[in-house]
Amino acid sequence: MKNLYKNILILILGIGSGFSFAQEIIKPTDYLSKEFHKDRREKLREALPNNSVAVFFANAERNRANDVDYVYHQDPDFYYLTGYSEPDAVLLVFKDAQKKTDGASYTEIIFVRPRDKHSELWYGRRLGDEGVKEKHALQEVFNNYKFRDYPMDFSKFDDILFNDFKNDVRDKARDDGDLYDLIIQFKGKVNYPSEDNTQLTPEPVVSNLDTHSLREIMGSLRGIKTPEEIILLKKAINISAIGQVEVMKAMHPGMSETEVQGIHEFVFKKYGAEYEGYPSIVGAGHNGCILHYVDNIKPEIDSKELILMDLGAEYHGYTADVTRTIPVNGKFSPEQKAIYELVLAAQTAAMAASTVGVSWQVPSKLARDIINQGLVDLGIIDSVSQRHTYYPHGLSHHIGLDVHDNGSREVFARGMVFTVEPGIYIPQDSKCDEKWWGIAVRIEDDVLIDENGKPVLLSGMAPRSVEEIEKLMVEPSILDKFVLPDLDEK
């Protein structure tokens, strides 16, 4: 009771004193360091063309419904360069040092959300300009409402690099420093063509505006992971693999897709992952043939079905991407096993072929050739050259701050972290024997090209072979004792 009175007193004093009582949230200590982000800005500066400036805007806040927004997620490029995770901000990185009126110079400047007592009462502490200086070590920091009148002559640059405005950005009518206004102010400063200078999306025609080069430059940086990034990626991947393991032990006929999704995501939270890196895909039977099936609402999974589970934990911004396909009753049927082992053979060969200096197309073609030949051998297609939709997607993509991360897909290089994910999907009414209908298999693993130029499997904690999966699925689960009451009873 004494603590309750103490907390109430602190609340009253905090509000009445004119100072925000909101305190710094206690967070984990293994985030990327401010030195990491500073180094990334230096690497960007080195890659910029002469006499240029790169401009980055924070991500927009997204409305879910009425007065409820989605949980905020920072723009990956913005976070990569700053570590700042609040909205309504703009960052400028200059190729060459800029002079201030007092003769001092700077190579970067950021405008951020100001402290606000009322908002912090509801949503938590903001850093403000002083907090950003201290925590993120940027050179020049101002509150965002000062961007409007900041004396920056953009016409002196040969190139202004930025990503064009494609997203829905809402105007907060009472906030002159929100993202909407920052964009409008920027467009006014660079003479961005628009009828009334308030449209957010017309294509620029001013000669020094470049909306294309920045993605390639950032891809060259983000596509090669530093040791600090690999530590976070490994944590996300291990958490995701543990989720697959726990579901394999807990799986039994009659479960719902939603329940399976919930087990995965419980494991994510249990081990400290803040979010899912993308909407979870849990498809049983024919639902597994829908590549991005995210409804996950089948109320009762049949014992004869496979269930395809494509989920990735996001840890400190870095996301894994791991898929396993398992038999609901714990035992693959002959047809399920044949398809599964064909996909596994394609994945194993493609993974081994993903070495430094090799074109991304080499393992992709190898996996497709193995699958096509296997489908012929099983009588599902007539020839290896037959067009079909049983393997309709690509083999690999980078992972990192995005699940489909930015990076070059020309040749494999040391420090790349990417997926290897072949699959076979045979929907109902396909032009083959109906014994194959409803079989959907994807096996997706996360791979690192190490310092020796070789592929290293990072998600191997989750079993991949038929024998390993079936063996694990007979083990008891701690969730076996988790009994739900009948929620329909009065």
Half-sphere exposure of 162 (CA within 13 A, CB side): 25
Confidence of residue 6 (pLDDT cuts 50, 70, 90): very low
Where along the chain do the CATH 3.40.350.10 domains lie? 2-221
Question: Residue 485 has what pLDDT?
Answer: 66
Q: Is 5 left (phi over 0), alpha (psi -120 to 50) or beta?
A: alpha
Enumerate the CATH 3.90.230.10 domain ranges in the chain, comma separated: 223-481
**pLDDT exceeds 80 at position 149:** yes
What is the rounded distance in angstroms from the CA atom of residue 165 to the CA atom of residue 208? 16
Q: What is the pLDDT of residues 297-315, one digit of tens each?
A: 999 999 999 999 999 999 9
Active-site residues: which are they? Answer: 67, 292, 310, 321, 393, 397, 404, 421, 425, 442, 444
Is pLDDT above 60 for 19? no
Band (pLDDT 50/70/90 cuts) for residue 203 is low
Question: pLDDT tens, 53-98?
Answer: 999 999 999 989 998 999 999 999 999 999 999 999 999 999 999 9
| Tens digits of residue pLDDT in 403-447 | 999 999 999 999 999 999 999 999 999 999 999 999 999 999 999
The closest alpha carbon to 58, from 92, 93, 90, belongs to 90
Question: Is residue 143 pLDDT above 70, yes or no?
Answer: yes
How does pLDDT run across 42-59, given as a tens digit for each residue?
999 999 999 999 999 999
pTM of the model: 0.91
- The model's confidence at residue 490, banded by pLDDT at 50, 70 and 90, is low
Q: In what order do the strands lie in the sheet with 159-162?
A: 140-143, 105-112, 90-99, 52-57, 159-162, 209-210
Residues 476-483, mean pLDDT to the nearest whole number: 84
Residue 484 pLDDT: 64
10 vs 274, more confident: 274
Percentage of the chain beyond pLDDT 70 is 91
Percent share of the chain, pLDDT over 90: 83
Q: How confident is the model at residue 17 (pLDDT cuts 50, 70, 90)?
A: very low
b/e code 15-43 from CB counts within 10 Å (16+ = b):
eeeeebbbeeeeeeeeebeeeebbebbee
Lowest mean pLDDT among 141-150, 160-169, 198-207: 198-207
> pLDDT tens, 345-388?
999 999 999 999 999 999 999 999 999 999 999 999 999 999 99
Amino acid code (one letter) for 111: F
The fold for domain 2-221 equals Creatine Amidinohydrolase; Chain A, domain 1 (3.40.350)
Split at pLDDT 50, 70, 90, the class of 2 is very low
Check pLDDT > 60 for residue 196: no
- CA gap 243, 403 in Å, rounded: 17
Q: For the chain, give the mean pLDDT.
A: 91
Whether pLDDT at 202 is above 70: no
Q: Chain centroid to CA 272: how far?
A: 16
Between 200 and 374, where is the model more confident? 374
Res 399: pLDDT: 98
Predicted confidence (pLDDT) at residue 12 exceeds the cutoff of 90: no
- What was the pLDDT predicted at 172? 85
Instruction: Using the predicted structure, report yes or no on whether residue 10 has a pLDDT greater than 50.
Output: no
- pLDDT band at 101, cuts 50/70/90? confident
- Residues 335-348 have pLDDT tens digits of 999 999 999 999 99
Lowest mean pLDDT segment, chosen from 193-197, 298-302, 481-485: 193-197
CA–CA separation, 311 vs 243, rounded Å? 9
Q: What angle do CA 217, 221, 227 make, to 5 degrees?
A: 175
Q: Are 81 and 91 in contact (CB under 8 A)?
A: yes
Q: How far apart are CA 248 and CA 474, in angstroms?
A: 9
Closest CA to 57 of 160, 203, 151, 193: 160
CA distances from 183 to 45, 87, 141, 205 (A): 22, 13, 18, 17
CATH number of 223-481: 3.90.230.10
Q: State yes or no: pLDDT of 466 exceeds 70.
A: yes
Is the pLDDT confidence value at 114 over 70?
A: yes
Give the confidence band of 331 by pLDDT, cuts at 50, 70, 90.
very high
Q: Identify any residues that bridge with 56 across adjacent strands, giving them in sequence order.
A: 91
